[in-house]
Amino acid sequence: MNDVGSSVAQPLNRTLNGTITSVPREKAVFLLHSNLKVFTNAIAALSKIGDEIFMQAQERGLCLKAFNKNRSVYGVFLFMDDFFTDFDTKFVCKDRVRDCRLSTKTALTIFKSAHFVEKNLVSCTLTVDCLGQDLRIDFQHTYDVSRSFDVNVMEIHKPFTSNITRSELSNAVTVSA
């Protein structure tokens, strides 16, 4: 059996209680159980701002961003490590991380469908490529039913950076989950 540090990518494995056992190289994995509704509401809120959602894996969490077409309005949700049931970000390298850019219509379709079948939903696993090329979403339902989405991310782009500090923000809200 290959160890996680080998050059061969390991498949994503979950134990019976939903914990992550191994992670492919250059990918970050986030496991959601009870906070999926909050995550879905964050995507719905960002969809009101722009047509694209930027998802970025970080060492201690996951960042979702959206900008309007003029780049005059933006929203950011930063989900820290305690938001997730389990996560593995050991392959996240600050120097090489890029945003996964996906359509809000795609994200809304995937996560709203999960919201409607919430009674049967056990867990959701997000596998985010740190290079911004791949995104996989797995939903585990009761009775060993699972749904997987290999999401088409949009072309790689230069990340948008802003020079705004938190002290300059007049409408900022920070909430712990």
Report the alpha-carbon distance of residue 131 to residue 102 in Å, rounded: 14
pLDDT of residue 137: 94
Confidence tier at 152 by pLDDT (50, 70, 90): confident
pLDDT of residue 77: 92
Report the alpha-carbon distance of residue 85 to residue 19 in Å, rounded: 8
Report the alpha-carbon distance of residue 53 to residue 76 in Å, rounded: 10
> Tokens in use for 37?
């509704």
| HSE (side-chain half, CA atoms, 13 Å) at 107 | 28
> Tokens in use for 116?
């409607």
| Mean local confidence (pLDDT), 145-161 | 76
pLDDT of 127-137, one tens digit each?
A: 988 877 889 99
pLDDT of 84-126, one tens digit each?
A: 999 998 877 777 777 888 999 999 999 887 766 677 888 999 9
Cα 61 to Cα 29, 71, 86, 88: the distances in Å are 10, 24, 11, 9
Q: Quick one: DSSP state of residue 95?
A: T
Select from 71, 63, 67, 62 the least CA-distant residue to 47. 67
What own/partner pairs with CB < 8 Å and gap ≥ 24 does 46-52 have? 46/75, 46/77, 46/104, 47/104, 47/107, 47/108, 49/73, 49/74, 49/75, 50/74, 50/104, 51/103, 51/104, 51/105, 52/101, 52/102, 52/103, 52/104, 52/154
pLDDT of 47-85, one tens digit each?
A: 999 999 999 888 889 999 998 888 788 889 999 989 999
Domains in the chain, ordered, with CATH? 27-153 (3.70.10.10)
The pTM of the whole model exceeds 0.85? no
Select from 88, 63, 89, 66 the least CA-distant residue to 78. 63
